Amino acid sequence: MSAQATGAGPLAGIRVVDLSRALSGPYATLMLADAGAEVVKVERPGAGDDTRGWGPPFVGEDESESAYFLSINRSKQSVTLDLKDADDLARLRTLIADADVLVENFRPGVMDRLGLGSDALEELNDRLVVLSITGFGEGGPDGQRSGFDQIIQGEAGLMGITGPKGGEPTKMGVPITDILSGMFGAYGVVAALHERERTGKGQRVTTSLLAAAVAVHTFQGTRWTLAGEVAEPGGNRHPTIAPYGAFTCADGWVNVAVGSEGLWQRFAPLVGIDVDDERYATNRQRVANWDELEAEINAVLVDDPVGTWMARFNDAGVPAGRIRSMDQVYDWDQLEHLQLIDRVSHPSAGELALPGAPVAWSRSGRRPPEPPPLLGQHDDELLGDRDEGR
């Protein structure tokens, strides 16, 4: 069922041709699909998106479906086209001519070699919004390099500020630069669609994994650009606020965020610390004495279980939270309340529970989730008889 048929979501009626693969582009089109756009995912015949082969885990009776692919491709349609074949390339041009958005994350130059450079696309469809996501950006000394998430995490400084204090550089537990570039790309697309309402013309939107990583440096970046400080891995501690971090209890861990002097006044008595102790009287002093402060807090928290401490923090109005394993997260009733788990019936893998959309719209509603597509599932519907005219 297409987004236009459901009538749900603010982007209902928008058609997206998705030439991207792996994660950055597909994450952008996932966001657009959740908002109601009809996303036509173009895949290689016989193989499909690279992520169809990424695993384990694989699910379904014959374990043919990659959990990785399923996580980021709900509510899309799949067609297979060989872009080295002239007839299939012509079919792609027909899809693009009728589209509102085109998304690609090829290396720079590939679209030109396909005859789908900026000028050709504008001639084909001058209302088209084109999103291009690259690894290191276009042009410059590194523009031609392949951009994989962990490589960018390292090159862009994220691994240099992640990991245990004094430890080795560490990547994040999710491919964060892929995800962020997809998010920024989707934001760019929606902004360009809005501008098209005034001008009637599409435009090209560009972003990169590198740009996304630098954009989220925030205060860690200005520690260097403004103060000349090179940030280092700090473990679970906040580098500029104390106490703000993870602490051990009798049966697990909690995060506590004492982000103001008022919160410190509430927190300190709970852990037996004099609020007027000169070592901890201000946030600046607490940060300077983090080691000593952390040791004192842990020595008290370790005597009681997480549940007891959570109740105490809640009663005192101190922000705190459990550190949950992934299974505990998906058993959490708050996720059900927020409808953050999409349950869909997949034609091969059966009933699936997928991480759901993080945004809801009060008037237009959210598009009802649909299962990720089988490879080429919509060939007949969207491409017709391939043998016609051959």
Catalytic positions, written as ranges: 178
- Count of beta carbons in the 10 Å neighbourhood of residue 46: 9
Which one, of 130, 186, 134, lies nearest residue 358 by Cα? 186
For residue 384, the SS3 value is: coil
Distances (CA, A) of 265 to 86, 320, 339: 71, 15, 37
For residue 186, the SS3 value is: helix
Q: HSE on the CB side for 365, CA within 13 Å?
A: 8
Which residues are within 8 A (CB) of 29 and not within 5 positions of it... i.e. 6 or more apart?
Answer: 16, 18, 20, 37, 39, 41, 76, 103, 186
Residue 160 gets which letter from DSSP? G
Burial of 251 (0-12, 13-18, 19+ CB in 10 A): exposed
Residues comprising the chain, all counted: 390
- Count of beta carbons in the 10 Å neighbourhood of residue 384: 11
**Tokens 């085109």 -> residue:** 102
8 Å CB contact between 362 and 356: no
What span, in angstroms and rounded, lies between the C-alpha atoms of 279 and 272? 14
**Residue 195 Rama label (left phi>0; alpha psi -120 to 50; beta):** alpha
Residue 102 gets which letter from DSSP? E
For residue 6, the SS3 value is: helix
DSSP letters, 30-41, are HHHHHTT-EEEE
C-alpha triplet 299, 300, 306: angle, nearest 5°: 110
Distances (CA, A) of 15 to 4, 219, 258, 363: 9, 38, 46, 21
